Structure 1
Amino acid sequence: MATVGVLCARGRVEEKALMAALAEAGIVSALFPPTDEPLPVGPLFPMASGRSFPVPQIVVDRHPDRQIARAVLATCRALDVPGLCAGIAAAGDRLDVASALAAKGLPRPETALCTSENAGLAAVAAMGLPATVLPLDLKSQPIDLPDIDTAEAVLEHRSVLGGSEGSLGLVQAGTPPPENVVTIFVIDGVATALETSMAMGVSVEVLRLAEQTARALFADVIAVVIALTPSGPIVWDVRPVPEFRHAQALTELSVPQAIAQAVQHRLEPVSAPRLPSDSTPDWTNLVTQGTRRDLVISA
């Protein structure tokens, strides 16, 4: 029986790297749930083969289909199997995420929930252009609205072809250019790696905002997309199951190694109190050699 179940559709580069890091830490892992086997709900029942269902001690959420992931994670909770996941972002949608961050007072763009094409156009008119449509499902990509013609076409297309589900979405003010966006990977409350096309350094303020976002969402593992604006950094989006093959480490651990360490901490018997969740590294004056360029973390 595997100690760790890696919840995914198939073993991609990230899942293979994670399982290798777990093996390096001496932790047995396997893809979960087993292919073509039903997942028991409630008390375990013997499978057709006569053997017991292979229940892991912990599950790491890496499934790209959030509907499947939510169902499996809920079933695991019923079986008292904990999950290492993105918290509210793993169990909910972009509205849940936006609401949780707004409740904590974290900086975000002006946002409106739109339930129809007309509501979307009204939001765009009030906010001004450019704007961005974010479908509620976190696996769907944001859609830029640079001008009114694009906004009308996109909103009509989503309403006509997507029905009520397509009409639902968030409209956010602005469309940050790629060079003003940084994605921070936060694992166990600590900013561990980043992806960016920015030529300049990443400030301590950005890293701390990513860590605050993870705490607000009760996320064990998450990628936080932060846009840099003239008024300061804002949380633009989150990714509950991010790709990290191109991530540049901010600490001595890679993303897979940091996840493996988080798993190891949860498997250890309780012997000493852990540091509180808000005890994060002092990023001031840190300089890390990245995989493509020097990453300068400035105050």
Structure 2
Amino acid sequence: MAELAVLYDRIRPDEKMLFEALDALGTPYDKVYVPHLKLTFDDAGAAAVPWRVAIERCVSQTRGHAVTRALEGFGVQVINPGHVIELCGDKLATNARLHAAGLPTPRTGVSFDGDAALEQIESLGYPLVLKPTVGSWGRMVSRLNDRDAAEAVIEHKEVLGGPQHGVFYVQELVNKPGRDIRAFVIGGECIGAIYRTSEHWITNTARGATASNCEVTPELADLAVRSAAAVDGRIVAIDLVEDPQRRGGWGGLLVIEINHTMEFKNSVSTTGVDIPRRMGEYAIGLLEKAPAGQAV
């Protein structure tokens, strides 16, 4: 068995591209299908874990976080670590960390009761976006243009019930130029970025947005790298929007969220950057930092 592993629960185009990049790099690695993985916390279980570095690529955030935390118990350095998954997998936690680091985000509020949420929404002003704190691909994101829309969405969340619907996370709807930006950061370097353009207000390629190359300006690179550092991200994608009404050290750029298991299949040909190869090189570099047989 190899000292490098790729952890996955579904093989998407992104994982195929990563496998091809690692094959080309020539470093042995194991493809670990996480649903079939069994780990036991004893000496025999430790002996059955040969990896020193692993790249976590699970589609299921819950599964990816669980296997990461388990392997960290055996001294495996997982990219990204468990605490990064916890931060990036929760939009509220991400925003709180960005705020603490002094980095720009849209005006954001959180409340924990329907009546309090409506009061806060009215105070922040319309239009707003209400988001689940955990989720991806623009699912269950609601645009609130007025009080009627706010009351309807709040009522739906209260009727649905459950702990996740008891948190009301809202952000201002930024008047962006019909696009957002995804910047890729690996090992503290912004290696490329794309625009995601759509006629819909949700600019996500999973929802039909088209990708085009975005020049990595000094402002964009600096903000992307600082955002990754704020959550201790090793391989992450930073989603940003441009606000023409704002000025400041980053030229009106605002950070929306950070993705810990980033998708890149639409970005390699667009940017001209071999993102999966750069991911593989970073992981192999971690292996080379420690002698064989020792945890990184």
Q: Normalising to structure 1: TM-score of the pair?
A: 0.79
Is the 8 Å Cα contact of residues 182 and 196 (structure 2) preserved in structure 1? no
Is the Cα contact below 8 Å between 2:8 and 2:34 reproduced in 1? no
8 A Cα contact 1:115 1:169, kept in partner: yes
1:109-138 residue CA offsets vs partner (Å, 9 max, x unmatched): 121122122222222111111111221214
Match of 2:14 in 1: 14
Q: Which structure carries more helix by proportion?
A: 2
Q: Distance in 2 between matches of 1:159 and 1:55?
A: 47
Alignment-derived partner of residue 240 in structure 1 = 260
Aligned residues of 1:44 and 1:53 also touching (Cα < 8 A): yes
Residues 26-67 of structure 1 show CA distances to partners (whole Å, capped at 9, x for unaligned) of: 122333355423222354339xxxxx6353221112112222
The one of 37, 40, 59 aligned to 2:54:
59
The one-letter amino acid of 2:19's match is: M
Query: Quick check: 176-185 or 105-114, which moved more?
Result: 176-185
Cα offsets for 1:173-204 (capped at 9, x unmatched):
22454724111111111112222146885532
Q: 211, 214, 226: which is aligned to 1:212? A: 226
Output one character per residue of 1:59-111: Cα deviation in whole Å (capped at 9) or x when no partner. Answer: 11211222222211111111000011177441232222111111110011121
Report the residue type matching 1:99 in the other structure: A
Distance 1:115 1:98, change over 3 A: same
Uncovered stretches (5+) of structure 2, i.e. residues with no partner: 198-211, 247-251, 292-296
Q: In the superposition, relative to structure 1, how do residues 160 and 14 fare at CA in structure 2: closer, same or farther (>3 Å)?
A: same
Aligned residues: 266
CA distance in 2, matches of 1:55, 1:143: 45
> Aligned with 1:45: secondary structure?
helix
Query: TM-score with structure 2 length normalisation?
Result: 0.80
- What amino acid does structure 2 have at the position aligned with 1:57? R
Are 2:86 and 1:91 aligned? yes
Letter in 1 for 2:222: R
> Using CA pairs below 8 Å that are at least 6 residues apart, which structure has the higher relative contact order?
2
Calculate percent identity across the aligned residue pairs.
25
Cα gap change, 1:256/1:181 in structure 2, threshold over 3 Å: closer, same or farther? same
| Residue 233 of structure 1, CA deviation | 0.6
Counterpart amino acid of 2:276? P
